Amino acid sequence: METPKFIADEMNGDIARWLRIIGFDCIYLKGDKLDDKLIEIADKENRILLTSDKELFKKAIYRGVETHYIEQVRLEEKLKKIVDKYNLNEYIPKLEYRCPICNQKLVKATNIKKVPPKVKEKHKIILYCKNCDKYYWRGGHWKKINKILKYAGLTNTSVNKL
């Protein structure tokens, strides 16, 4: 089975970021009058459209695009509903690290001159986004990340392997 890919509307940037943290490919577009573009990309690239816009949801369904309506509830609840609906746990072993900002695949950092010395000493794995020129490691915010992932029913995500 093919790993699902997503596209999120402007109201769901938080979900896009978290799906990327987990390792899922999720495009995020923001701006005015993007409904047709979101539907077109979802259809062309076989992506699931994530929206909190009822009109966009109806329009996408009418055009035969797989879409999921997201109620404006707590982030953890939104994420849990998506995880459950699309059975995302079964894809976890195949996922690669993704940049939460731009969605590009992360690579293991080789040139870590910009990383603070204490981080270099403490962490064996440091990831790098070539597009954003940003480094990622298992920092102090890890407990919060794991708490949200656990609530959503995701316990074996790629981020836990860092």
Over the stretch 53-94, which tens digit does the pLDDT of each residue have? 999 999 999 999 999 999 988 999 999 999 999 999 899 888
Number of compact structural domains in the chain: 1
- Asked if residue 74 belongs to a domain, the reply is yes
- Asked if residue 162 belongs to a domain, the reply is no
Read off the DSSP letter of residue 115. S
Provide the domain limits for residue 123.
5-156
Strands 134-136 and 127-129: antiparallel
pTM: 0.90
What is the number of other CB atoms lying within 10 angstroms of the CB of residue 11? 15
Q: What confidence category does residue 139 fall into, taking pLDDT thresholds of 50, 70 and 90?
A: confident
- Asked if residue 161 belongs to a domain, the reply is no
Classify residue 69 as exposed, middle or buried by CB count within 10 Å of its CB (0-12, 13-18, 19+): middle
CA distance linking residue 64 with residue 49, whole number of Å: 11
- Asked if residue 9 belongs to a domain, the reply is yes
Q: What is the radius of gyration, based on Cα positions, of the chain?
A: 17
